[in-house]
Amino acid sequence: MQLIKPGTSIDFVGKRHIAAIFSTITVTISLLLFFFVGPNWGIDFTGGTEIELHFEQPTSIDEVRGAVGKLGLSDDSIQRVGAEEESRFVIRIQDTTFGTERLQEQVTSALTAKFGADFIEESTFDAQVGALMRVRYRGGDRTEEELSEALAGVEGAKVGDSPDDNTVEINLPGVTEEVTKTISAVFPGRGLVTDRVDAVGPKVGGDLRVKGVLAILATLLLVLVYVGFRFEVTFAPGAVLALFHDVMITVGVFVLTRHEFNLAIIGALLTIIGYSLNDTIIIYDRVRENMRRYRRADTARLINDSVNETLGRTVSTSLTTMIAMVAFLFLGGPVIQTFAVAILIGVFVGTYSTVYVASPTILVMEDLRPYLGRIFSPLAEQAAAAVAEAGGPREGEGSAPSAEPAAPVTSLVKAPVAAAPEAAAAPSAPLPSAAPVAAAPSEPQLSESARRRLERKRLRDAAGRGETGNGRVE
């Protein structure tokens, strides 16, 4: 079955101006949303605790919200997971110190009551590694037994060893214990079971956020280098622009819908970059192939034909990927849902950008080529002059030494012509003065060595078409 019939001709390139306006507005809105509204960062990037639990007896989400509300948590922090009859919920708490303030006060009160009001010199709390309280005290060293006896009235507090003198480390029950204790007290006969606990410190979350952004930027930079070497420099900006377009629109949708922005979305964005790049490379390869085949064809028409020729493959791949993501979305569970939503958005936007952003950008770069040549040609000539002043290029690099006079054009013409077997029998005849040896009007800025290389290429093309030295075709 063919989704796109052969010979289909849709004027994609002709609508590039409308698409450019639409894409510019969309990306601008996404940037404004990202910087001024900000994503709904998950605990992966802000730090906090995520608790997944379930009840063996039927329990509604309203009942759980009522129980957790006694701890001061909002209703948004509780979400249902799975079907309603499973009674499975996820509780997200982004405050890493949640529930520990009261315990810290109890520890301070217990120690001062046991050893005196001036016993504590300094106390600190570290949420990076569990709920750890460090207390520096005055006076002589206290044994672990003495400190444990003083803290016997603080439920869940455990005294640990400390490498420093006159310092004690106290492990406090974290937010998980506080939440499960409160819920169990409200529902004593429901069979509460804690399935999973994920805790991320605020410092780790900040590092993950920075590294996620750097991963995306590094990927875009490497894509720019890869496409520049794989095709031409004029192809590379279009590919990177399309990938940036895809990433920003996907991020903008998540910011607008206030969907949680977690590590799964970073993975999805990198996957979108890979998918969209693959789609772009397919079209770029066809464009390059057609450029070699039809040298004198109009570039806009050539790009449009290339997009139409690969349109069937593009649509089939996109639909197949979307079907798989829809299955993940509805059957994969809450862990994979965020990833599936991001990929669905990215595939749709990536297909659009490949056709309307990456491909038409080639035309823009072709129009800018003369101006870029004027900028970089003097730099290249200065570099060549610097090499010549330093002793000339190495053997096999660059042009011949300046001390040797430039070979006449006729000597450059005879060599490739004589190499053709069918041209060997023809009498050698000098080329007319109007032969393609004369430099084109658009080439005055080229150096002498560049002109000679261009002339050799023209002669090789002429020999490949079967032209003899007198201009006839055998």
At 273, which CATH number?
Answer: 1.20.1640.10
Question: In terms of domains, do 235 and 253 share one?
Answer: yes
End position of a domain, from candidates 353, 368, 383: 368
Interval 71-115: pLDDT, tens: 777 666 788 887 788 888 888 877 666 667 777 888 888 888 888
- Percent with pLDDT over 70 in the chain: 76
What pLDDT was estimated at residue 31?
94
* CB neighbour list of residue 431: distance below 8 Å, 6 or more residues apart: 410, 413, 437, 469, 471
- Residue 382 falls inside a structural domain: no
Return the ∠ at Cα 2 (arms to 331 and 320), rounded to 5°: 20
Write down the pLDDT at residue 124.
Answer: 80
Question: pTM for the whole thing?
Answer: 0.65
Asked whether residue 80 is domain-assigned, the answer is yes
CATH number, domain with residue 124: 3.30.980.10
Is residue 108 included in any domain, yes or no? yes
Highest mean pLDDT among 54-68, 349-363, 426-440 belongs to 349-363
- Do 286 and 233 share a structural domain? yes
Q: Is residue 85 part of a domain?
A: yes
Question: Is there a single domain that holds both residue 17 and residue 63?
Answer: no
- Render pLDDT for 460-472 as a digit per residue (tens, 0 to 9): 676 655 544 444 4
Q: Domain check: are 284 and 351 in the same one?
A: yes
Q: pLDDT tier at 180 (50, 70, 90 boundaries)?
A: confident
Closest residue by Cα to residue 45 from 269, 223, 262: 262
Write phi, then psi, for 184 (nearest 5 degrees): -65, -35
Structural domain ending residue among the three candidates 302, 337, 368:
368
Same domain, residue pair 164 and 284: no
One domain, residues 135 and 184: no
- Structural domain contains residue 389: no
Co-location of 228 and 360 in the same domain: yes
The structural domain count of the chain equals 4
Q: What is the rounded distance in angstroms from the CA atom of residue 357 to the CA atom of residue 303?
A: 12
Residue 372: what pLDDT? 67
| Judgement on whether residues 108 and 36 belong to the same structural domain of the protein | no
Asked whether the beta carbons of 71 and 53 are under 8 A apart, the reply is no
Whole-number pLDDT of residue 466: 55
Same domain as 157, residue 136: yes
Would residue 377 count as lying in a domain? no
Domain containing residue 149 = 101-173
What the block records as the tokens of 38 is 């900000």
Considering the domain boundaries, does residue 167 fall inside one? yes
Among residues 85, 83, 79, the alpha carbon closest in space to that of 62 is found at 79
CA distances from 438 to 407, 423, 447 (A): 15, 23, 14
What is the reported pLDDT for 353? Answer: 92
Same domain membership, residue 80 and residue 31: no
Is position 310 within any domain?
yes
Query: Which residue, 129, 158, 190, sits at the end of a domain?
Result: 190
Same domain, 133 and 215: no
User: Two tokens at 206?
Assistant: 């900040």
Q: Is residue 90 within 8 Å of 52, Cβ to Cβ?
A: yes
Task: Measure the CA–CA gap between 74 and 76, rounded to whole angstroms.
Answer: 5
The per-residue pLDDT for 424 is 38
Instruction: Give the pLDDT score at 29.
Output: 96
CA–CA dist 59, 86 (Å, integer): 9
Residues 271 and 418 in one domain: no
| Alpha carbon distance 415, 69 (integer Å) | 90
CA 74 to chain centre: 33
Mean pLDDT over 189-200 rounds to: 80
